[in-house]
Each structure stands twice: as C-alpha cells, then as structure tokens.
Amino acid sequence: MNVVYLSDADARNRRAELVRASARLFRERGFDATTIRDIAQACGMRSGSPFYHFKSKQEILVAVMEEGLVAGLVTIEGIAAQPLAPRAKFRALVRTQLEFMLGEGHDFIPVLLYEWRALDEALQPRVLALKERYDALWHAMVVELKDAGLIQADPTVARLFILGSLTSAVQWFRPEGSISLDQLADDAVAMFLHSR
Amino acid sequence: MNVVYLSDADARNRRAELVRASARLFRERGFDATTIRDIAQACGMRSGSPFYHFKSKQEILVAVMEEGLVAGLVTIEGIAAQPLAPRAKFRALVRTQLEFMLGEGHDFIPVLLYEWRALDEALQPRVLALKERYDALWHAMVVELKDAGLIQADPTVARLFILGSLTSAVQWFRPEGSISLDQLADDAVAMFLHSR
DNA sequence: CCTACCGATCGGTAGG
DNA sequence: CCTACCGATCGGTAGG
C-alpha cells in the first residue's frame, strides 16, 4: 500500500511542479473552476496521480498559498530592514509588492488574495499567521510615513487602502501594456504620499 | 409545454426574489460554490423551479450584474451631475460608491466585481457597456480633480487605484465594526486628494 | 505514478 | 411551480 514509486528527489521535483502549475491555473481560472484533471494534465500526469503528492485539492491550495507567502515575505522583510528614508522605503516596498503580484511567474500572491474564501476554514490558520506578519510589516511602514507627515489618514485605513489599490492591479494590469511596474510604483508614491 | 403556472405579477415577484437571493449567495460563497439548489431553497422553491424564471445559472448571474449596475449607475450619475466643487463631488461619489458596495442589502456590485471571471464570455458584452459608463464617469471626476491640482498622478492609474482601494473594502469592511462609511469616505478624501 | 473505478453532486429537462 | 430524473463531471481511492 505504501510502496514507493518515485525517488525522494523525483517526488520533490514533481511536487514543486504541481504547486507551480496549480498556482497558475488557480490564478487564471479560480480554484473551483480548476479540476484535478487540469492540474495533472499540466504536469503530464494522469488524473489520479496528484494524490500521490497531496492528500486533497485543499492541500494543494494551502501549499500554493504558504509557499508563495513565505517567498514574498522573506523578500519584503529584507527591504523593510534596510536603512532607507520613509519615502524611499515605501517606494521600494511598493515596487516589490507589485513584482510579486504582477511579475512573470508570480501567481502565488494573487491566489492568496483571490481564493482565500475557497480555503477550508480548518486550514486558514496555517496561512493566517503568515498573513499577519505581512500586515504588521506594512502597518509599521504606514505609521512611519504618518510620523514623517507624509500620510494624513488613519493608519489602519491607509494601510488597507494602499494594499487594496495595489492588489486591484491584478485585475487590470497587463504586462504587454504601455505602463511598466516602475511607473506604477511611481504613481502609487505620488498618489499616497503627500508632500510636507 | 408552455403552460403558465404563475400570474405575470407573481412571476415578476418571484424572479426579483431569485435575483436578490442569488446576489447574496454569490457574494457570500462565490458563483461556483453556489448551487441552483441553494438558490431555490433560499426562496422556498424546489431545485428545478428557478429554471421556470431563468434559462440557466449564467442568466441569473447576468441578471444580478445588470440590475445592480443599472441601479448604482443611475444614482452615481445623479450625483456627478450636481453642481458641486471638485472636492465635495469626489467625497459624495466616494460615499455613494461605498454605500453600493458595503451597505445593507447591496450585494450586486460586489458580485460584479468579484465574479466577472465566472461570467461566460458570450454574456460579458451585455454588462461591459454599463461598466464603461461607470468608468467614464469616474474618469471625468479624476480629470476634474487633476485640473484642480488635487491629484498629481496619471489620471488613468489614479482612477484605477482609487476604485481599487474602495473595491478592496468589500474584503475587510465589517458593518458591525468601529468604523462608519462616513469615516471611510473622509479617509479616502484625505488619502487621495492633496491640498493645494 | 497508472488503471480503473466509485459515489456524490450538480446543472438542467420532460411532463404535468 | 413540482416531481422525478438524466448525463456529465469531479474529487478521491484501491490496487499494483
């Protein structure tokens, strides 16, 4: 029953491939509209084979969310730790956030943002802890901006509005369009930060 | 085959009831996760009965989107037509938009925003025309603000960021929480409009 | 990882 | 609008 059909290394590779393909499909079609058969086919497998690597479709979703969030968090926390002036740090954080939401091959964060509801409540705590680290980091950034007089609104609402507007770009940004991620970051800074 | 089981008036009422219940369910659970049986039950019908009023589940979705959009558009256009100063008009538009997204019983616009992908491509044009009127109105508002020196960023990006951040409130705003829609509107004005 | 399959669910329909 | 039902799809499993 518990016979091994793949070497450890092969199994790890195939698992990673499943997570990557699932992220892309979940992002493009949504979790509910993506079938296990779609995922298997995208990796050249038969329909039952993903279950060699994951207990359930929900476990695939949680893997997509966790792995994407961990990768993004490490990068973002690295930037937040740099000794930059508030305005420059904000610009750098925004630019990185945009990269993780809109850049080539970065399907994980959009899935996290748009498929949260599809995740079984029992599994949500596993992702929530990471999400909170994310929010805490941005909250500190916004408070720093407010102390510097660059933001006037309530910090919590400001944080939610800023992240919300960046998030919304997932819906309308087109990489082949005329606007670049750098321009987008500049516009965000111009919009959200007042001059003193 | 085409026998009539309800009077015209009854049929209209039941249809409206189906649209209202569907809007709420689509908003709460998503389109894919809502079954015809859920909708029927919410209206005290049996599972096959919604198809007396609608050809398909997709037709229910399009009805939800169209009816919500038409209602919102009429109200929003009324405000845009008022002779208000740019800052005051912006505040009024934001407040109304928040009402239609977050207010009691207003499930239509969130469904439009979050279930667009679930709508068959063949049906999208029916809703797109209304959406464009919406965007045009907001675009004119943003240009007016830019001319008045209250916004500095590119008008298209500014419009998308503003609507995106308001839209995001659907995900985190809780009516029973400590913040009111009026405060939210004030914070949006403080965030997005610079002083001259 | 594959083959073969099950059990449940779901959108939709025929007929009254 | 109800009853009774179909056909397809889908997540998941047994066994090798």
Going from N- to C-terminal start, the domains of chain A cover 56-192
Q: What are the two backbone dihedrals, phi and then psi, of residue A30, each rounded to the nearest 5 degrees? A: 95, 155
Q: How far is Cα B164 from Cα B12, in angstroms, rounded to an integer? A: 35
Nucleotide C5's nearest residue (CA vs C1') is A48
Rounded to two decimals, the pTM is 0.93
Nucleotide D10's nearest residue (CA vs C1') is A35
| pLDDT attached to residue B196 | 60
pLDDT band, residue A2 (cuts 50/70/90): low
Q: How far is Cα A35 from Cα A29, in angstroms, rounded to an integer? A: 10
Segment A55-85, tens digit of pLDDT: 999 999 999 999 999 999 999 999 999 999 9
DSSP one-letter string for chain B: -----S-HHHHHHHHHHHHHHHHHHHHHH-TTT--HHHHHHHTT--TTTHHHH-SSHHHHHHHHHHHHHHHHHHHHHHHHTS---HHHHHHHHHHHHHHHHHSTT--HHHHHHHSGGGS-GGGHHHHHHHHHHHHHHHHHHHHHHHHTTS--S-HHHHHHHHHHHHHHHHHH--TTSS--HHHHHHHHHHHHPPP-
- Kindly determine whether residue A161 and residue B172, on different chains, have CB atoms separated by under 8 Å: no
Q: How far does A25 lie from chain B, in Å, by closest CA?
A: 13
Nucleotide nearest to B5 (CA to C1'): D1
Average pLDDT rounded to a whole number, residues A113-117 = 93
- Kindly determine whether residue A187 and residue B118, on different chains, have CB atoms separated by under 8 Å: no
- Kindly determine whether residue A168 and residue B179, on different chains, have CB atoms separated by under 8 Å: no
Report how many Cβ contacts below 8 Å link chain A to chain B.
93
Residues of chain A with C-beta less than 8 angstroms from the C-beta of B102: none
- Kindly determine whether residue B187 and residue A158, on different chains, have CB atoms separated by under 8 Å: yes
Find and list the nucleotides of strand C having atoms within 7 Å of a protein beta carbon: 1-5, 9-16
Reference B160, options A165, A170, A176; nearest CA is A165
The gap between B35 CA and C11 C1' (Å) is: 9
Contacts of B37 (CB under 8 A, 6+ apart): B47
Helix (H, G, I), strand (E, B) or coil at A193: coil
pLDDT at A1 over 60: no
Segment B38-86, tens digit of pLDDT: 999 999 999 999 999 999 999 999 999 999 999 999 999 999 999 999 9
Q: How many CB atoms sit inside 10 A of residue A18's CB?
A: 23
**Residue B124 tokens, joined:** 């999208």
| pLDDT attached to residue A185 | 98
Q: What are the two backbone dihedrals, phi and then psi, of residue A153, each rounded to the nearest 5 degrees? A: -70, 170
Residues of chain B with pLDDT under 50: 1
Element (H, E) at A6: none
CATH fold of B56-192 reads: Tetracycline Repressor; domain 2 (1.10.357)
Find and list the nucleotides of strand D having atoms within 7 Å of a protein beta carbon: 1-5, 9-16
The gap between B108 CA and C14 C1' (Å) is: 33
Q: How far does A113 lie from chain B, in Å, by closest CA?
A: 10
Residues of chain A with C-beta less than 8 angstroms from the C-beta of B32: 30, 32-33
**Residue B99 tokens, joined:** 């009402």
Contacts of B9 (CB under 8 A, 6+ apart): none
Buried residues in A52-73 as b, exposed as e (16+ CB within 10 A)? ebbeebeebbbbbbbebbeebb
Q: Which of B29, B118, B153 sits opposite A190 (nearest CB)?
A: B153
Q: What are the two backbone dihedrals, phi and then psi, of residue A9, each rounded to the nearest 5 degrees? A: -65, -45
> A187 with B154: CB under 8 angstroms?
yes
pLDDT at A196 over 70: no
Nucleotide D14's nearest residue (CA vs C1') is A1
